[in-house]
Amino acid sequence: MEEPSAAVARRTGVVDRAFSILAAFDERHAALSLTAIAGRAGLPINSALRIVRSLVGVGALERRDDGLYVVGLRLFEIAALAPRSQGIRRIAMPFLQDLHAVTEEHVLLTVREGDEAVLIERLSARGAGRVAYRVGGRLPLHGTGGGLVLLAHSPREVQEAMIAHADVDLTGPGRLAFPTGDELRRRLAAIRQEGSLVFAASAVDGMGTVAAPVFGRAREVVAAVSVVAPADKQVLEGLLPAVRVTARAVSGALEPRRPTAGWKSPPR
């Protein structure tokens, strides 16, 4: 009979391999062949085939007519139950919609997961500038405006790790970059002091960011509200009051003891 510890280790290994297969998919690799999945997951082809078949069987993956595999709808159904994404998103949505109606730009809601910023909602106007952000997408915390606000309120060890790699090339649509760790450290200190961010230095796609933190019940920062608009400092500063009001309203809605009856749509 198999020892209990051996059985646990075997099950854990299967789970790890299954997640490595799921992690092989991203926005640039939305459809993959079995060979590509095995290569990106670092698994032998036979092991990958067994796990892929199991994932298809439970709906976590789907096999298209052309033989390529894509993420299955069942994963979306399960992810919709995640309280740190959907819970905050559900509460924030009415305020985000007001902000979107007022600004007619990209409105984003972001949370922190380790050393990455995860986009859990995006509202975009038809005429807004083009951005590469997608719901569920991840970027380093110092790669986006919302991520910078989250990083400024992250544990010190997370901040120091990002500061140590501040000069890593993050160039690309919608991504920010800092030439030195000292510059990033000063930016984070300014965010904590000012309570928000105006960043108009993106030369890659001509877009800038205004962002403000969302606080939870224990006054910890749980998310960031941001607007992405043309990188004109005057335009971005004009959006700042509406972004701050929205972030405060979402914070109030997350804390039942704090009244939110006085909420008004952001000023036009």
Domain boundaries, the chain: 4-77, 83-254
Q: Does pLDDT of 1 surpass 50?
A: no
What backbone phi and psi angles, to 5 degrees, belong to 191?
Answer: -65, -45
pLDDT tens digits, 112-144: 988 888 888 888 877 665 666 777 778 888 888
pLDDT: which is higher, 27 or 195: 195
Closest CA relative to residue 202, chosen from 139, 113, 114? 139
What backbone phi and psi angles, to 5 degrees, belong to 119?
Answer: -80, 120
Least-confidence region, from 60-64, 75-79, 160-164, 166-170? 166-170
* Max mean pLDDT range (21-35, 45-59, 205-219): 45-59
In CATH terms, the superfamily for domain 83-254 is GAF domain (3.30.450.40)
Confidence (pLDDT) at 260: 44
- Whole-prediction pTM value? 0.68
DSSP state at residue 101:
H
What whole-number percentage of the chain has pLDDT above 90?
A: 43
The whole-angstrom separation of Cα 23 and Cα 49 is: 15
Confidence (pLDDT) at 162: 87
**DSSP line for 173-186:** TT----S-HHHHHH
Chosen CATH of 4-77 out of 3.20.20.70, 3.30.450.20, 1.10.10.10, 3.40.50.880: 1.10.10.10
What backbone phi and psi angles, to 5 degrees, belong to 240?
Answer: -60, -45
Cβ atoms 105, 229 nearer than 8 A: yes
Count of C-beta atoms within a 10 Å radius of residue 253? 18
